[in-house]
Amino acid sequence: MDAAIQLAPAHAPVPRFANDPEARQALIEAARAMIPVLRQRAPLAEKLRRMPDETVADFHHAGFFRVLQPFRVGGYEFDPSIYIDICAEIARGCPSSSWVLANLAAHHLFMALWAERAQEEVWGPSPDTLIGSSYIFTAGRAERVEGGWRLNGKWPFSSGIDPCQWTVVGASTPSDEGDGRENRYFLLPRADYEVLDTWHVVGLRGTGSKDLLIRDAFVPDHRVISFTQATNATAPGLRVNTGALYRLPMQATGGFTLIATIYGAARGAVEDQVSGLRARVARVGSRSLADLTSVQTRIAEAEAALDTVEMIARDSWARAMRQLRESGSVDPRDALRMKRDAAWCARLCVQAVDLVFAGAGGGGLYETEALQRHWRDVHAGAAQFGLQWDVWAPAYGRMRLGLPGGVPGIPI
């Protein structure tokens, strides 16, 4: 094996920030304190089309990337609700930076599923090692060779890949039984993939969600897990990472790992609009804009939508974690409900940001205004496959009507 992980000493107390209001508040305040500087950097992030190096360093310093990482390798292993709160606060300043944080922090959770040897290779040199991803199985193909797999393909949408030293990609492979194909995840070091500068987009410009090109790379068996292992709590890493957090079903929670960014971006847009209307003396005839009933109604509707998102998200996470702690698994019906709820929350966030953007008038169109950026970024985030209502509403409806849900990894 490569360099061993420096495990925490046996007597070290495991932090339980979910039950520590002071520690939880300190994390949220650290994220909130970054909002002004992130707003200043947001135009730079869009110009670079990736998260600025200064922001990567700030997130490392604050410990944000480690929130879901196993404690045994230097992470914090916090309750998911803290991760969501941090990402939502960061999105108020720069949605793109929040999107990258949400993805890369969640990848530490996913990495906990790999064989211990693979975890040592990634985290042994440093628990600050970052891991990228692209989970589109149809983008690549792998064939069995002695000791592992030979991998080829081109994968899109690898958010935040620039500062990463490793990446995970999905690919189609021959099944172990030899009578079909099976989807698997492959873990590769930076030397084995090429980052293609393809990210020229209208929204979430600062996420650097570029393409990955892999040519004839060898991936040893210990750096491969199957889709089935990742979704039914049989992954090899669970032997050493035993917390309930690492039994969260990927298929159920994927959408909710990104809702925090969309929610925070929409919330920031509404708060900016309220502050702006209070400060400005913009008028329509003899009346101020703030005095118009239509403007007041837009603010009320937008905030009601976002309050609903927050309640749904917190309830969904709490239910999933409660089931994991009590029974060791999440009911498949609740897993599919989480997919439905995440997609519904995305719709509500779009509705909220549309209300305030439409009410901002011509002033909201200027590139110097954060409102237009948040509006673009919320729409871009809601277009992510895991948040599309047209996909997940029918799947939930099928389950409720006694038909197969048809969602891989959710056995209904």
| Beta-carbon contacts of residue 211 (< 8 Å; ≥ 6 apart) | 154, 155, 156, 157, 158, 195, 196, 198
Q: Tell me whether the CATH fold assigned to 131-229 matches the one assigned to 250-400.
A: no
Helices (H), 94-177: 95-111, 116-123
Run of H or E residues at 157: strand 148-158
Q: What pTM value is reported for the model?
A: 0.91
pLDDT value for 286: 57
Low-confidence stretches of the chain (pLDDT < 70) are 1-20, 279-287
How far apart CA 248 and CA 311 sit, in angstroms, is 20
- Write out pLDDT tens, residues 285-341: 556 777 888 889 999 999 999 999 999 999 988 898 898 888 888 888 988 999 999
* Candidates 3.40.980.10, 1.10.10.10, 2.40.110.10, 3.40.50.10320; CATH matching 131-229: 2.40.110.10
| CATH topology for the 250-400 domain | Butyryl-CoA Dehydrogenase, subunit A; domain 3 (1.20.140)
Residue 365 pLDDT:
80
Q: pLDDT at position 281, please?
A: 57
Residue 297's contacts (CB-CB under 8 Å, 6 or more residues apart) are none
What's residue 225's pLDDT?
96
Report the pLDDT value the prediction gives residue 192, as an integer from 0 to 100: 98
How far is 209 from 218, CA to CA, in rounded Å?
A: 24
pLDDT at 11: 30
Q: Which CATH architecture has domain 17-123?
A: Orthogonal Bundle (1.10)
Sort 358 into a burial class: Cβ within 10 Å, 0-12 / 13-18 / 19+. Answer: exposed
Structure tokens at 212: 């990955």
Cβ neighbours for 130, distance < 8 A, ≥ 6 positions apart: 65, 104, 107, 160, 163, 164, 165, 166
At residue 360, the pLDDT reads 77
- Neighbour tally for 365: CB within 10 Å: 12
The C-alpha atoms of residue 36 and residue 357 are separated, in whole angstroms, by 21
Say how many Å lie between the first and final Cα of the chain, rounded: 40
List the domain boundaries for the chain: 17-123, 131-229, 250-400
